Structure 1
Amino acid sequence: MHDKSDALPGDFFAIPDIHVIRMQGRDAIAFAQAQFMNDVAALADGQWQWNGWLTPKGRVVALFAVLRVDGETLRLLLLDADPAGFVERLQRFVFRSKVTLAPEADVAVAGAFAAPGSARGAQASVNDDGATELDLGGVDEPRTLRIGAGPATIDPVAHGRWRALDLAHGLPRLEPSQLEQWTPQQLSLDRLRAFSVKKGCYPGQEIVARTHFLGQVKRGLARLHTGSATVSAGDEVTAASGSGRIVCSQGDEALAVLPLDPAPVDLQVGGTAARALPLLDGLAR
């Protein structure tokens, strides 16, 4: 295997760890509003946002993007988690709501390192071939996420670069060991405008709101450059200001939850020095 991508700029490659889930029905918007941590009701048709689902104790169960297709249809772009397991768990709370939940198993998700044709920011677009495109570009780093259309090239190197850019922008990619471990504030998801403290009740809302309004956020996300060292989620990070843990890593990029004041210095992971880098801007929606 070589470590050079075969994709040319603008070529689409498969992103197998993002799964599409359709929520449809008269109560789809209301159900999502009551369960998820961001203000789904604020979306207009064709708009999307970062969002997530929390435990009653305010820990992140899953992270995803929510795209409003129309007044009765949402599409969730589930990051990393098992779509069937997520749907089964969420289905327990449907009760009498008029909403159906189902993974769109036959829908391909692909990415490209190029700006989308007409999607910009939080506004998605639908192409002539029926594919939906989202703008996932940050400052000076254009990216397009495509939902639907034909199969894309399998390119592990390009896919790894995509994940590394997610981390550089402060978008955590959570493996199973990291689920239900962190609050939205510890993951600095306010940077992505991924949760609301004003919209009303949802699981974990009381914890999130109390932490926000009482100013109790003492730990947050730090971006680390690990060089040639191999680090894994759950590894301990030590710093002059206190210790923390790696949340996710890809190549030499890693995200860790650490004390934020003062800024972390003298970082080490497993006895190997690491360097703190600023999180990139531009992925908030």
Structure 2
Amino acid sequence: MLTLSSSPTLYPLSDRGVISLTGDDRTKYLQGQVTCDVALLNSGEATLGGHCDSKGRLWGSFWLANLREELLLITNASLLERQLPELKKFAVFAKTEVVDATLQWQVYGLAGEGLSYWLDQQVTGDNLWQGGVVIPVAAEHALLVLPKDSPAPELPIGSEQAWRGLMIQAGIPELHAEHQGEYIPQMLNLQALDGISFTKGCYMGQETVARAKYRGANKKVMYILSGTASAPISVNQDLELQLGENWRRAGTVLNVYQDGEQCLITSVLNKDLEADTVFRIKGQDDSRFSLQTLPYSLTE
């Protein structure tokens, strides 16, 4: 439904929030707060990750990048109001400063055929570029984070909505404020995208995350669904599944892309669903959705 552009395309993203960590203890501090292994990131490297409460429920998912003297978390801006105070809570005991740096940065999506070749011509081996960083997120897809006053590359411009669709197709989770505190990291498939380290030691919510892996405690996963709807769909709308002549609530919309009546959504649903299950948006009786194959293998 949504095809990759025939050449590298730039997608300006207005809904990204950026958290900055600086100071001597930035790596050590963040290591004890998030699911990914911060200490393994060399300069210019990046990873997916999650930030949990003490019960293992997500305050947010993010991309984390190492900019030599600074760590940047790129996330959905709607999460910051609740997430940032939680991330800063224990920073007073460490040599690190945790701040909302959204206004200091501009964030873009990059995608299209030939993107890898184009990046090879533009960027040094450590992915640092013009004071910012390139974050690979999927094959021929990347995020570009640049200082506010740095010129953007001269490329064709794509829409923010199209980028959202590309990320849904790639199975990249996107958490919004409406779902903070609802899901453990495995429910967003973070383990399948190298966003969880099970060897780095303790961090906030680690016991719950480990229990889900080693005891099979997690019963839900994030699915991609494709279908049609004649009315707009929004994050957190109820999703229903068909049982004979009846419909039963199955979950809520996590993220959505719409082009006319054609739609892609993600939703956290029970992992034992039949592949041919039929879904609809509650209140939109003519809408229909079906499960799509994830572009990666799921593990606990």
Q: TM-score range by the shorter chain?
A: 0.7 to 0.9
How many residue pairs get aligned? The number is 267
| 1:149-171 C-alpha deviation (Å, 9 max, x unpaired) | 22589x99621111111112222
> CA 1:239–1:93 in structure 2 vs 1: closer, same or farther (change >3 Å)?
farther
Q: Hey, what's the Cα distance between the residues in 1 that align with 2:215 and 2:188?
A: 18
Deviation at 1:66, TM superposition (A): 0.9
1: distance between equivalents of 2:240 and 2:54?
Answer: 28
TM-score by length of 2: 0.79
Distance 1:32 1:276, change over 3 A: same
Once the two structures are superposed, residues 34-56 of structure 1 have per-residue CA deviations (whole angstroms, 9 ceiling, x without a partner) of 00111111222221100111011
TM-score after normalising by structure 1: 0.83
Aligned amino acid, residue 257 of structure 1 = V
Among 63, 66, 69, the residue aligned to 1:65: 63
The Cα shift of 1:189 comes to 1.5
Report if the CA contact (8 A) 2:12-2:158 is conserved: no
3-state SS of paired residue (1:111)? strand
**Structure 1 residues 176 and 156, CA, compared in 2 at 3 Å: closer, same or farther?**
farther
Q: Which residue of 1 aligns with 2:91?
A: 94
Unaligned runs of 5+ in 1: 1-6
Q: Measure, in 2, the Cα distance between the counterparts of 1:218 and 1:183.
A: 11
Greater strand share, structure number: 2
Displacement after TM superposition at 1:67 (Å)? 0.9
Contact 2:10 2:158 in 1 (8 A): no
User: Could you tell me how far 1:281 is from its partner in structure 2?
Assistant: 4.2
Closer, same or farther: CA 93–264 of 1 in aligned 2, 3 Å = farther
Tell me, in whole angstroms, the C-alpha distance in 2 between the residues paired with 1:50 and 1:173.
11
**Which structure shows the bigger proportion of residues in helix conformation?**
2
The CA distance in 2 between the partners of 1:233 and 1:109, in whole Å, is 22
2:271 counterpart letter in structure 1: L
Give me the whole-angstrom Cα distance separating, in 1, the residues matched to 2:152 and 2:67.
Answer: 22
- Deviation string for 1:195-247 (max 9, x for gaps)? 12222111111111011101122221111012134433331332559733322
Query: Partner residue of 2:239?
Result: 236
Supply the distance in 1 between the matched residues of 2:242 and 2:56 (Cα, whole angstroms): 26
Q: State the one-letter code of the partner of 2:264.
A: E
Q: Contact 2:252 / 2:268 at 8 angstroms: preserved in 1?
A: yes
5+ residue gaps, structure 2, are: none
Asked whether the 8 Å contact 1:43–1:68 carries over to 2, the reply is yes
Instruction: Give the drift of 1:118.
Output: 3.1
Instruction: Give the % identical residues.
Output: 22
Instruction: State the Cα RMSD in Å.
Output: 2.8
